[in-house]
């Protein structure tokens, strides 16, 4: 029977079913308790195992839940295709134990009786049926037992992903706030340190220096269609330095967050490592290190490898998004500049981080009862002119221009200091030094003050509304500095962004003490909220998770081949819009991670709208048309309906595979 069967034919088929007399060679659909919609009937195509009404009745009387039937009854959202309501097995999959050994199809104790028959696994799993919610509950209880370490949780989650992918993602979605720090930083860092030893099953793809010349062909070893790739060369993994091929842990973790946070289909993500060697002596001496045991390839040879990788991606999946992750600072920006217009891509360390900080500034505007456009009234003092500081400064500058200032006016809003003090037009900037090109226009616009004056003097002259730190100098924001910020502003914006906590420019407590808790505070590291004289100062913490899943989803759905500054700015503006009134009153400037799917919907829709406005849509006008017909709410509905949600769907054999036949 064809998958494209017509509704009338299906209804006729349903009629046949009612008057069924068993014969081999036909599709058998149990109608008891099954929604009679064409979807439920179509979902049964491709299998032949009979499921009699008596069997349903007897299983019910045994108290066995029948999730397969409830699945349709419980639906709160509508799907547009039959394929969305069923899990169609790959044509190469055999009935029986093979189903249980495949993490994509395995449901453990979550197979209905009908499915057990259909898939040839009756008797191969314990008789009692558990819902996915019950399974999650059991695993969660196990993970959160007293004394269980982060690494125990990481390993348990890996093992779960290896045996039941749906359950893994469901647990992650349901407990994203608690599990994001396990799947990603900080615990994944610990895992990356010993990744070779923890290696169990391959996940993702390794492109090594030994494979040069073959990347194109290798891409075809990956069978699925891919829409998001995270790639690293492992040269600067979190704060841990060069971990070589162990960087795979980062690519895998990040993509798990794409799936959980924005509902990207798990089958369409591809974690990658470019293994060009490592300069980590410990790894080179480790007999079990699974990457190339050689020093890093550098210079042009390295760039050629990146180029070959990007070209191979473009050849195989021209619309895929590539996210660059944890490349060393000297390579990160050059790679982004080289490929930004060549392939749909972004760098989360540079752009994702800058968007989060900007989102915090917009959140601060909301906390002060102002519109995002009020960002043009702010004056920024920034300590730190390294890659983090300049990345953030450049991006806030773009936002000021976006909101109406001329580039020159926007440059003048910044007072940038490095370890030698304020940087002005009198500073001798050395040609060719990293970051100098970015810094120069800011320096040249600062002609009103002497070069090299210290932070206290700068604050006195500039009277800033916002003080940002990316200097790595602990305690740089002294009590005196913070007090002065509190005198100058009702709600001073204080952002000590340096990591880890030991390097933060000030603590939350110091900021609250000096400002009677009036500061709008956000740090790069976690701090507890602080109460002073009945006023609670929320210790906000930026997290790139607010940005990259929604940004990725939006740019794919709109079909753009470029992520513009305007789209990044739209993402930043969308994030505080998910804050509810109570949170804004408390001066929370970021939403809760638990709300990430909602945040991603808003971010994706905002990114898509901006892309349409910039004429970057590549979906034949569909998205623009949707916005003009149904507004941003309609667009958000569309985004939501496009998101994968991990739940058990009835599993059917691929029509035409013939593998499901008895």
Beta carbon of residue 411, minimum distance to ligand NAI (angstroms, whole number): 18
Q: Which stretch binds ligand NAI (CB under 6 A): 106-114, 227-235, 398-406, 472-480?
A: 472-480
Instruction: Provide CB contacts within 8 A for 317, sequence distance 6+.
Output: 219, 225, 226, 227, 229
31 binds ligand NAI (CB under 6 A): no
162 binds ligand NAI (CB under 6 A): no
383 binds ligand NAI (CB under 6 A): yes
Q: How many residues bind ligand NAI (CB under 6 A)?
A: 24
DSSP state, residue 245: G
CB count in 10 Å sphere of residue 577: 16
For residue 509, what are its two tokens? 């407590």
Beta bridge partners of 86: none
303 binds ligand NAI (CB under 6 A): no
Query: Which of 136, 388, 481, 607 touches ligand NAI (CB under 6 A)?
Result: 388
385 binds ligand NAI (CB under 6 A): yes
69 binds ligand NAI (CB under 6 A): no
Query: Which of 353, 513, 569, 651 touches ligand NAI (CB under 6 A)?
Result: 353
Closest CA to 649 of 258, 69, 45: 69
471 binds ligand NAI (CB under 6 A): yes
Kind and range of the H or E run holding 601: helix 596-613
Instruction: Provide CB contacts within 8 A for 57, sequence distance 6+.
Output: 32
Give yes or no for a contact between 486 and 537, defined as CB atoms under 8 angstroms apart: no
d(CA 443, CA 416): 8
Q: Kind of pairing, strands 520-523 and 493-496?
A: parallel
Beta carbon of residue 159, minimum distance to ligand NAI (angstroms, whole number): 32
472 binds ligand NAI (CB under 6 A): yes
396 binds ligand NAI (CB under 6 A): no
CA dist list (Å): 398 to 157, 277, 379, 383, 395: 40, 37, 14, 19, 5
Binding mask 536-555 for ligand NAI (x = CB under 6 A): ------x-------------
> What's the half-sphere exposure (Cβ side, CA atoms, 13 Å) at 333?
13
d(CA 593, CA 187): 17
d(CA 497, CA 73): 49
Q: Which stretch binds ligand NAI (CB under 6 A): 19-27, 115-123, 491-499, 634-642?
A: 491-499
d(CA 633, CA 604): 12
Query: Which of 499, 598, 618, 657 touches ligand NAI (CB under 6 A)?
Result: 499
Beta carbon of residue 417, minimum distance to ligand NAI (angstroms, whole number): 4
Binding mask 514-533 for ligand NAI (x = CB under 6 A): ----------x---------
Task: Identify which of residues 33 and 434 has a Cβ nearer to ligand NAI in the complex.
Answer: 434
Beta carbon of residue 504, minimum distance to ligand NAI (angstroms, whole number): 8
Task: Identify which of residues 167 and 572 has a Cβ nearer to ligand NAI in the complex.
Answer: 572
Give yes or no for a contact between 605 and 636, defined as CB atoms under 8 angstroms apart: yes
Task: Identify which of residues 167 and 481 has a Cβ nearer to ligand NAI in the complex.
Answer: 481
d(CA 146, CA 326): 33
d(CA 481, CA 468): 12
Q: Which residue is nearest to ligand NAI (CB)?
A: 386
CA dist list (Å): 397 to 22, 45, 332, 393: 73, 57, 20, 6
Closest CA to 531 of 466, 480, 587: 587
Beta carbon of residue 316, minimum distance to ligand NAI (angstroms, whole number): 32
Task: Identify which of residues 211 and 348 has a Cβ nearer to ligand NAI in the complex.
Answer: 348
Task: Identify which of residues 39 and 427 has a Cβ nearer to ligand NAI in the complex.
Answer: 427
476 binds ligand NAI (CB under 6 A): yes
Q: How far apart are the first and last CA of the chain?
A: 16
Q: Which stretch binds ligand NAI (CB under 6 A): 131-139, 260-268, 469-477, 555-563?
A: 469-477
The CA-based diameter of the chain, rounded to the nearest angstrom, is: 95
443 binds ligand NAI (CB under 6 A): no
Query: Which of 243, 252, 470, 557 touches ligand NAI (CB under 6 A)?
Result: 470
Q: Which residues are catalytic?
A: 184, 254
Q: Which stretch binds ligand NAI (CB under 6 A): 301-309, 445-453, 467-475, 611-619?
A: 467-475
10 binds ligand NAI (CB under 6 A): no
Kind and range of the H or E run holding 140: helix 132-143
Beta carbon of residue 390, minimum distance to ligand NAI (angstroms, whole number): 7
d(CA 181, CA 545): 11
418 binds ligand NAI (CB under 6 A): yes
27 binds ligand NAI (CB under 6 A): no
Indicate the burial class of 453 (C-beta count within 10 angstroms; 0-12, 13-18, 19 or more).
Answer: middle
Q: Which stretch binds ligand NAI (CB under 6 A): 106-114, 177-185, 288-296, 492-500?
A: 492-500
Q: Which residues bind ligand NAI (CB under 6 A)?
A: 329, 353, 357, 383-389, 417-419, 470-473, 476, 497-499, 503, 524, 542
């Amino acid at each position: 029977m064809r998958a494209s069967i017509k509704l009338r034919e299906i209804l006729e088929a349903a009629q046949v079913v009612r008057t069924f007399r068993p014969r081999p060679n036909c599709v058998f659909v149990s109608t008891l308790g099954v929604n009679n919609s064409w979807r439920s009937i179509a979902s049964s195509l491709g299998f032949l195992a009979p499921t009699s009404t008596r069997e349903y009745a007897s299983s019910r009387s045994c108290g066995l839940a029948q999730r397969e039937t409830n699945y349709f009854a419980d639906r709160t959202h509508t799907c547009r295709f039959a394929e969305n309501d069923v899990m169609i097995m790959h044509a190469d999959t055999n009935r029986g134990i093979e189903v249980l050994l495949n993490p994509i199809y395995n449901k453990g104790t979550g197979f209905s009786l009908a499915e057990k028959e259909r898939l040839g696994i009756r008797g191969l799993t314990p008789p009692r049926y558990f819902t996915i919610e019950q399974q999650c509950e059991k695993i969660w209880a196990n993970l959160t037992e007293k004394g269980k370490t982060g690494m125990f949780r990481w390993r348990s989650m890996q093992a779960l992903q290896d045996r039941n992918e749906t359950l893994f993602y469901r647990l992650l979605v349901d407990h994203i706030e608690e599990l994001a720090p396990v799947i990603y930083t900080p615990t994944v860092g610990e895992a990356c340190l010993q990744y070779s030893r923890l290696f169990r099953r391959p996940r993702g793809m390794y492109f090594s220096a030994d494979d040069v010349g073959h990347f194109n062909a290798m891409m075809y070893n990956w069978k699925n269609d891919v829409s998001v790739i995270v790639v690293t060369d492992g040269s600067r993994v979190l704060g841990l330095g060069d971990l070589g091929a162990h960087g795979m842990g980062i690519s895998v973790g990040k993509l798990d967050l794409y799936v959980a946070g924005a509902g990207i289909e798990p089958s369409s993500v591809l974690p990658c490592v470019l293994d060009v060697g490592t300069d980590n002596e410990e790894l080179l001496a480790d007999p079990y290190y699974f990457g190339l045991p050689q020093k890093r390839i550098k210079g042009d040879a390295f760039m050629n490898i990146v180029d070959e990788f990007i070209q191979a991606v473009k050849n195989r999946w021209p619309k895929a998004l590539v996210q660059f992750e944890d490349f060393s600072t000297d390579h990160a920006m050059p790679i982004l500049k080289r490929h930004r217009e060549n392939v749909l891509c972004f760098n989360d360390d540079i752009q994702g981080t800058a968007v989060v900080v900007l989102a915090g500034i917009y959140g601060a505007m909301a906390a002060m009862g102002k519109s995002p456009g009020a960002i043009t009234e702010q004056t920024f003092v920034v300590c730190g002119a390294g890659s983090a500081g300049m990345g953030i400064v450049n991006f806030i500058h773009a936002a000021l221009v976006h909101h109406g200032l001329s580039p020159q006016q926007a440059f003048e809003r910044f007072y940038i200091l490095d370890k030698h003090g304020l940087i002005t037009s009198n500073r001798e900037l050395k040609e060719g030094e990293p970051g100098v090109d970015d810094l120069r226009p800011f320096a040249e616009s600062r002609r009103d003050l002497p070069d090299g004056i210290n932070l206290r003097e700068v604050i006195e002259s500039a009277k800033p509304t916002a003080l940002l730190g990316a200097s790595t100098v602990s305690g740089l924001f002294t009590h005196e500095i913070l007090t002065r910020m509190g005198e100058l502003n009702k709600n001073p914006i204080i952002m000590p962004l340096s990591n880890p906590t030991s390097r933060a420019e000030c603590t939350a407590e110091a900021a609250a003490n000096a400002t009677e808790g009036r500061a709008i505070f956000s740090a790069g590291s976690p701090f507890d909220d602080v109460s002073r004289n009945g006023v609670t100062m929320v210790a906000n913490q930026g997290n790139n998770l607010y940005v990259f899943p929604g940004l990725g989803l939006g740019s794919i759905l709109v079909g753009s081949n470029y992520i513009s500054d305007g789209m990044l700015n739209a993402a930043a503006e969308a994030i505080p819009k998910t804050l509810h009134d109570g949170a804004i009153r408390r001066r929370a400037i970021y939403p809760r991670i638990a709300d990430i799917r909602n945040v991603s919907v808003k971010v994706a829709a905002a990114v898509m709208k901006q892309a349409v406005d910039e004429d970057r849509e590549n979906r034949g006008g569909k998205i623009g048309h949707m916005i003009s017909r149904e507004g941003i709410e309609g667009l958000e509905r569309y985004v939501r309906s496009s998101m994968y949600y991990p739940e058990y769907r009835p599993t059917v054999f691929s029509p035409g595979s013939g593998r499901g036949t008895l």
